[in-house]
Each structure stands twice: as C-alpha cells, then as structure tokens.
Amino acid sequence: MWMILFVPNSFDLGVIFKRGGNMPEKELNVKLIQSPDDPIRILYSAARQCYSKDFVGDYNDINYEKAKKLIKSIIKSGHISIIEHLNYTFAIEGISRSESHQHVRHRIASFSQQSQRYCNAANNNNEFNYIIPPSIKNNSEALEVFIKTMMYINEQYKYLTKILSRDIDNGEKVNQDARYVLPNACETKFVTTMNASSLMHFFELRLCKRAQWEIRSVAKKMLNLCKDNCSVLFDMCGPKCKKLGYCPEGIRSCGMMPTE
C-alpha cells in the first residue's frame, strides 16, 4: 500500500504502454565473440598426446571422423581435462543484475561487467533499462506495481544524482553512490570467457529446471552457440540429469527423471 503513496501523480500506465517500443525493457542478446577455429584438432591433439610417442604438433592431416570418435569416448569415460583447451568468449546484454549476480558465482570464468560507476544508468531517454520477469509481465496487476516501482526508482535515481552533483564535481563519484537505489531488475552487460569444461559444469547447473528462468535462458543461448562451434562435444552437454541418468535434487526434482 505504501508504494502507491509515493508514485508520482502523473503516472498513467496507459501512457506507458502506448509508448510501446520506448519502454526501457531490454531483450536478451547473447553473442559468441571468440571461439576456437578448429576445436576438433585441439581436442584430438590433446587426447592423442596422452597416448602417442609422436609429437602431436607435427600432425598435419587429421581424420576428423576418427578424431570425433576418440573425443566422444574420452569424454564419456570422464577424462575431460582435454576440453579445458577450448575457450569461448561471450558478450551478453539484456540481463538483470539479478542474473549477473548468479552468473559471476561461477568462479572458473573471467568476467568484465559494465560498471554502474563509470556509466550512469540512464539510457538516451533518461531512463534506466530493466528486465521484466515473465510471471510479472503476464499478470496485469503485478505489472502495474512493477512499472510504477521502476518509474519511481528512476525518478529518485535522477534526483539523487542531481543532489549529489551539487557537492561532488565528479560523475563517477556521483554514479557510484546514486546506484545504491537501483533495483535487481536493472539491465547490465558483460563479457565472459570460459573453457569448455567450466561451461559443461555451468550448463549442468543452469539448464536444470531448478535454476531461475533468466540464467536458464542465457545458458540455453550459450549452449546453442557452442553447439554450432563443436557439436561433438556440446551435444553431450545439458542439465546434470542428462549426464547422470537420474535427478539428484530429491524432493525438489522437476519430475522429468527418476530421483534415484
């Protein structure tokens, strides 16, 4: 109830919806900006060097079909250190700070995230971009509360920026403290690099139905991009039940797989 009280009087949801595309809701965008040119060669060379007296650096002609068979059998046997030689770099935008907070918990990865210190959150329309969860988007009552709250925060963020700018003659220092009022819904962008082993683990956890919808949709897009680069490896990736053949989540299981 208290939230209704501090929403600006000028607020009119109809006006916001009529603006359509101008709403600062941001769509998910995942791009693979760096991937191995010849992943099979890398995997095959790493695998063969373990068993061969030869120097794999001298291999010129690789039988790709034979190489794929060897790679599959090694990965199925669980000797997956060879896949650490494959590195993938993604540029991701249109995600919430909530998603990025979950994403950066994956420590076997490198991250470079847009700073709310160096970048003021306001877009060209002087509003911060945000992500709307589907459960809220599909519920008109919840959506109204959500958008009113975003509008209110936006106004207060701008106002706070203005107040702080009176005393602080430094944009970064203003941004770094004004950002404390920004919500989890606030849109962010980052670049991340992971090796294929870390990615496989990420997919096991984040494609599981227990993971939240947002990081699951990011993980799905990342996996599809990886499959385009090296299907022999990434076709084997998925939620952890795919590898285990059962679900270890006990009473929290989605029911797709037996729990034992």
Ligand X SMILES: Cc1cc2nc3c(=O)[nH]c(=O)nc-3n(C[C@H](O)[C@H](O)[C@H](O)COP(=O)(O)OP(=O)(O)OC[C@H]3O[C@@H](n4cnc5c(N)ncnc54)[C@H](O)[C@@H]3O)c2cc1C
Which residue of 26, 132, 198, 230 would you call a contact of ligand X, by CB under 6 A?
198
- What is the closest distance, in whole angstroms, from the C-beta atom of residue 109 to ligand X in the complex? 6
Please say whether the beta carbons of 253 and 259 come within 8 A: yes
Sheet holding 110-113, edge to edge: 29-34, 87-96, 187-195, 110-113
206 flagged as catalytic:
yes
**Residue sitting closest to ligand X (CB):** 107
Torsion sign over Cα 175, 176, 182, 188: positive
201 sits near ligand X (criterion: CB under 6 A): yes
Q: Among candidates 215, 220, 19, 7, which has minimal Cα distance to 98?
A: 215
CB closer to ligand X, 21 vs 255: 255
Pairing of strands 187-195, 29-34: unpaired
Catalytic residue of the set 41, 179, 206, 210:
206
205 sits near ligand X (criterion: CB under 6 A): yes
Please say whether the beta carbons of 175 and 120 come within 8 A: yes
Q: Among candidates 212, 205, 192, 198, which has minimal Cα distance to 238?
A: 205
CB closer to ligand X, 96 vs 198: 198
- What is the closest distance, in whole angstroms, from the C-beta atom of residue 142 to ligand X in the complex? 23
- What is the closest distance, in whole angstroms, from the C-beta atom of residue 107 to ligand X in the complex? 3
CB closer to ligand X, 170 vs 212: 212
> What is the rounded CA–CA span in Å between residue 257 and residue 246?
5
What is the footprint of ligand X within residues 92-151 (CB under 6 A)? 105-108
- What is the closest distance, in whole angstroms, from the C-beta atom of residue 249 to ligand X in the complex? 8
Write out the two tokens for 127.
Answer: 């509003």
210 sits near ligand X (criterion: CB under 6 A): yes
CB closer to ligand X, 56 vs 205: 205
Point out which residues bind ligand X (CB under 6 A).
105-108, 198, 201, 205, 210-211
Residues with catalytic function? 206
